[in-house]
Amino acid sequence: MILDSHIPSGPLAQKWDKHKFDLKLVNPANKRKFDIIVVGSGLAGASAAASLAELGYKVKCFCFQDSPRRAHSIAAQGGINAAKNYQNDGDSVYRLFYDTIKGGDFRSREANVYRLAQISVNIIDQCVAQGVPFAREYGGLLANRSFGGAQVSRTFYARGQTGQQLLLGAYQALCRQIALGAVQMFPRTEMLDLIVIDGHAKGIVTRNLVNGEISSHAADAVVLATGGYGNVFFLSTNAKGCNVTATWRAYKKGAFFANPCYTQIHPTCIPVSGEHQSKLTLMSESLRNDGRVWVPKRKEDCSKPPASIPEQERDYFLERKYPSFGNLAARDVSSRAAKEVCDEGRGVGPGGLGVYLDFADAIKRLGEANVQERYSNLFDMYEKITGENAYKVPMRIFPAVHYTMGGSWVDYNLMSTLPGLFILGEANFSDHGANRLGASALMQGLADGYFVIPYTIGNYFATAAKPKPSTSNPEFKKAEEDVRAFTNKLLSIKGKRTVTSFHRELGKLMWEKCGMARNEAGLKQALKRIPELREEFWKNTNVTGENGEFNQNLEYAGRVADFIEFAELLCLDALERRESCGGHFREEFQYEDGEAKRDDDNFAYVAAWEYQGAGKAPAMHKEPLVYEEIKMTKRSYK
């Protein structure tokens, strides 16, 4: 199969405009004849559901949370990028495009990224009009700040809660359409299967999480905006409910999964405090501007109070290894350096998985009041979680998984390999390549939902769409039976281990063998262990309760069952990609200074995996990355 990305011809800067003109339209009066299912209500899902309903389509929107306002986009802190050049500092669409594609280590599509940069400016206008309370200057105009990987100030923000405010904007737009009857909302409802009829996505099967009811929903097109798969690592900064189920089950119905090995690790998270740990909390990277990272030189000192370790017994390892960048070394480089010292047994804190981020020098230099002014909200959060006062003792930090660049393969229209199935936001693979820059996730989610899907879905209806089936179609009945059989099977195992214990074991394995740094031997070990774990899961897990009731343990078991399958694909993709790029670091492929060694001759492609059936190895299809406008260069922040 040849993967056609449907990238329009013509000069890069004109592709999207040309494409918008070439896309077929649906007459306004005919739009109400089309039903669209949107799964997920985060930035991408809520913005898509609202925008499509405004156009006149009939929309059904589903989320597993109790309200669409709770989707995990809400937790994004930093901000959203846009090429407004309000600061007169030399920003432009082209510069945002270039920064994003360079940040992605030249593993994303030029045309997609350029479109993203173009649309970024409309997003800000849209959000302001919705009443998003962005930070303002005294003159009343929008404030900006700078962010990693960029030399201009183009990040718009609403305190440390930008994701929350943007999501509430989209949620409000969605609520307005719900009130108008244009969107039917299904909270506490989980998609468990995708319906494909004559090769087109035509509906979903869901489980009502309150009463266990399994239902079918038919539509003319299905949109998945179901987020990333970071929770395959068990511990991540994702919300507890984040899962891969929707895109994974679509994969098993024929939607290819692209670049699953591109996972991003964030260096400054609060470390694990014990086996009970359920999730990790991110702290802004800005802390590294004034904190110094160190661990004791000797293992024996690791359990001593940090203040009792004299200066000459401390190893400021980032300053030692990277004298020019020091504590501000790139995310992946600092993360791996922290892992190395912990692997040597020099980690600090419970479990030895942490390094100090020390503000003593900054406090001496600037005074406590100044440090407080810059970081008090972060110090407060740190104290809430750890009980430690970081003005008095050094913070402890450790890297954690927080974003996944891989996802369902989509073409320029955001349509998957299944006609009629569109994938938006973090759930698709399209715009961030091998690594995402800060403040770009919110931008992409909203670009997809507000300004791409409303155009491209119409073209599908006007050209390729097949009629909407009835839910009495045998495909629906069969899928419902499959879902029932799946849940009944989970409930019938009644084994000795809890679902959490399997998830935790899987996560630990993934973190060790396929986390910050990967190598062939480790990946092969993981690929051997995962099927064993899966087999044990299906023999020995214990799911309590019944299907016909509110059963969180059953919901969770289904998600973990999918993670144990998906993990294998992730490791396989990581094994096959014999280069280091962005968030994918293969120890075999690095320069002497520890920088990633990319191999453009052999790996400048998107790896899109096709499901071949249970127990069979998936097939990899390659979409070559053709750069017309820019040259692939070594990504360096030195």
Partner 1 sequence: MERGGKRSATPLLCPRESGVALRFAAALHNLPRLSSFEFRVSFRMNLTLKVWRQKNGSTAGRFETYEANDVLPDMSFLEMLDVVNEGLIARGEEPIAFDSDCREGICGMCSLVINGIPHGGHRGTAACQLHMRRFTDGQTITIEPWRAKAFPILKDLVTNRSAFDRIIQAGGFVSVNTGGTPDGNAVPVPKTDADLSMDAAACIGCGACVAVCKNASAMLFVAAKVSHLNLLPQGKAEKDRRVLAMVRQMDAEGFGNCTVTGSCEAVCPKEISLSFIAKMNRDYGIAILKGQRPRKAGNEG
Among positions 322-381, residues that touch partner 1 (CB under 8 A) are: 348-350
331 is catalytic: yes
What separation in angstroms does the CA of 243 have from each of 134, 246, 289, 344, 357? 30, 8, 33, 33, 31
Using the rule CB under 8 A, which residue among 34, 134, 229, 537 binds partner 1?
134
Shortest Cβ 70–partner 1 spacing (Å):
4
Using the rule CB under 8 A, which residue among 158, 219, 246, 457 binds partner 1?
158
Name which of 199 and 548 has its Cβ closer to partner 1: 548
Cα 149 to Cα 463: distance, rounded to the nearest angstrom = 41
Contact between 122 and partner 1 (CB under 8 A)? Answer: yes
Shortest Cβ 269–partner 1 spacing (Å):
11
Cα 190 to Cα 245: distance, rounded to the nearest angstrom = 9
Name which of 402 and 584 has its Cβ closer to partner 1: 402
Contact between 175 and partner 1 (CB under 8 A)? Answer: yes
Using the rule CB under 8 A, which residue among 14, 289, 389, 463 binds partner 1?
389
Name which of 227 and 594 has its Cβ closer to partner 1: 227
Residues in region 63-82 near partner 1 by CB under 8 A: 65-70, 72, 74-75
Read off the amino acid at residue 52: L
Backbone angles phi, psi at 155, to 5 degrees: -95, 120
Residues in region 261-300 near partner 1 by CB under 8 A: 273-274, 276-279, 281-282
The DSSP code sequence of 391-449 is TTS-EEEEEEEEEE--EE---TTSB-SSTTEEE-GGGB-SSSTT-PPTT-HHHHHHIII
Choices 251-259, 284-292, 384-392, 577-585 (CB under 8 A): range interacting with partner 1: 384-392
Q: What DSSP designation does 224 have?
A: E
Shortest Cβ 29–partner 1 spacing (Å):
17
Contact between 125 and partner 1 (CB under 8 A)? Answer: yes
Choices 9-17, 122-130, 327-335, 470-478 (CB under 8 A): range interacting with partner 1: 122-130
Contact 567, 232 (CB under 8 A): yes
Q: For residues 431, 437, 439 and 443, what is the CA-based torsion angle, rounded to 10 degrees?
A: -10
Name which of 26 and 74 has its Cβ closer to partner 1: 74
Beta bridge partners of 304: none
Q: Take residue 213 and report the two structure tokens written for it.
A: 């009811």
Q: In which order are the strands placed within the sheet that holds 58-62?
A: 183-186, 58-62, 35-39, 221-224, 421-423
133: CB partners within 8 A, 6+ apart: 158, 165
- Helix, strand and coil percent figures for the chain, each rounded to 5: 45, 15, 40
The DSSP code sequence of 298-314 is SGGGTTS-GGGS-GGGE
The DSSP code sequence of 152-209 is SEEEE-STT-HHHHHHHHHHHHHHHHHHTTSEEEE-SEEEEEEEEETTEEEEEEEEET
Using the rule CB under 8 A, which residue among 164, 259, 268, 444 binds partner 1?
164
Residues in region 532-561 near partner 1 by CB under 8 A: 542, 544-545, 549-550, 552-553
Shortest Cβ 377–partner 1 spacing (Å):
11
Shortest Cβ 216–partner 1 spacing (Å):
23
**Count of alpha carbons within 13 angstroms of residue 418, beta-carbon side:** 32
308: CB partners within 8 A, 6+ apart: none
Name which of 43 and 185 has its Cβ closer to partner 1: 185
Residues in region 211-240 near partner 1 by CB under 8 A: 237, 239-240
Choices 5-13, 158-166, 363-371, 570-578 (CB under 8 A): range interacting with partner 1: 158-166
Name which of 20 and 321 has its Cβ closer to partner 1: 20
Q: Residues 70, 331, 396, 559: which is the catalytic one?
A: 331
Contact between 502 and partner 1 (CB under 8 A)? Answer: no
Using the rule CB under 8 A, which residue among 241, 419, 425, 594 binds partner 1?
241
* Straight-line distance from the first to the last Cα atom of the chain, in angstroms, rounded to the nearest whole number: 41
Site track 581-610 with partner 1 (rule: CB under 8 A), x = hit: ------------------------------
Contact between 500 and partner 1 (CB under 8 A)? Answer: yes
Cα 77 to Cα 164: distance, rounded to the nearest angstrom = 8
Q: Take residue 514 and report the two structure tokens written for it.
A: 């396929």
Choices 172-180, 220-228, 320-328, 520-528 (CB under 8 A): range interacting with partner 1: 172-180
Contact between 142 and partner 1 (CB under 8 A)? Answer: yes
Which run of H or E residues covers position 214? strand 214-218
Beta bridge partners of 375: none
Name which of 44 and 575 has its Cβ closer to partner 1: 44
Contact between 467 and partner 1 (CB under 8 A)? Answer: no
Contact between 439 and partner 1 (CB under 8 A)? Answer: no
Shortest Cβ 637–partner 1 spacing (Å):
28
Cα 298 to Cα 285: distance, rounded to the nearest angstrom = 27
Contact between 136 and partner 1 (CB under 8 A)? Answer: yes
Using the rule CB under 8 A, which residue among 148, 254, 454, 531 binds partner 1?
454
Using the rule CB under 8 A, which residue among 28, 387, 615, 624 binds partner 1?
387
* DSSP helix/strand/coil, 593: coil
Contact between 50 and partner 1 (CB under 8 A)? Answer: yes
Name which of 120 and 216 has its Cβ closer to partner 1: 120
Catalytic site positions: 331
